[in-house]
Structure 1
């Protein structure tokens, strides 16, 4: 089944409530391709490798979390930016990107999806855009929780250990290590994010809480998969998630 591009974009924008977010990039349609959509390829980042894979799969849309046109970047279309956009235009492929709106969605979002995979019962949301989640897991040791996180993500997280069991957990995927102090103020035993900064180690250690840096890419694979699967079901489209390796 086919759907018109404008209808698909309008549906996504409304579903993810993009108008409510002040983001670092434009959300929604970033590169215009063909009008008729049958196949969606989703991935974390609109890298050349993902674009090449989508071309091979004859996709009409590439759906990503990390797209183009970030605030503060050089706007000149040279180098890799030129090559990426040239590939999309030559093959008439639409690029759809959703950043903070995809982090925040309470069902399809990166944080909600990762929480579900960790059997984390969400009780509240926090941070400036209410994208970070707070909840409970079955009480367990830090080692046991690390093992579970590693099993879910398929990679070993960096673990700042603490001498306490874990039951109250906050998480925010990607580069959200800056929320650790908000999480600590909420009384957590552990905070999970994608990345870690130099001072994150000391903040966690001195506050005696566990911190898990589980990978920016690894923690943000699930929102685009969930959104792509939802769109495929809603509009009888083809969808394929392509995971381009990134150890960060």
Structure 2
């Protein structure tokens, strides 16, 4: 039996806050909230039928802020989140940072160099770039050859923050290629610049994973540092 000293751990929250809408949603706001992955109706609070407690009803898009997408998201035919084992969503994480200009295509060669042998199989790859909302130009992009590199290394999940695009190319995009190969996508992470280890441990189990047939779920994702993860 292994002994873990939890006093040596540092936990970094890498998931975004979710704020339900206040009041009614106007049609224009509805479209914006859908596109921004932020559609959460006001919480409804009800009294219990059996005692003095209350409960709430949540109505929301399955893709809200930090979330995990399953292959079912592509065409309604692939594996939903409920078909994956819990082990898919936590484990050894390898973090990539690319300090590049806007509009840069991050190639397979760039990824392989940054990897430097860190990916060992069954890992979770997480990518961020130097792009910010103040950058002039589009987000750096990982295209097909980059997606194929991650597949060749046997990753079990792919994560990113909002400084990277994986959506150009439709069916040939990194987004679609990974999902077609049963690699869930952990999207809209944050605080990746707060991390100090380039290999550590991430936990991102979908909150709605047990909902049969669900395509995506919001997630509380945390990185645990202070461990030597081999």
TM-score by length of 1: 0.27
Pick 1 or 2: higher relative contact order, CA cutoff 8 A, min separation 6. Answer: 2
Give the helix-richer structure, 1 or 2.
Answer: 1
What TM-score comes out, normalization by structure 2 length?
0.29
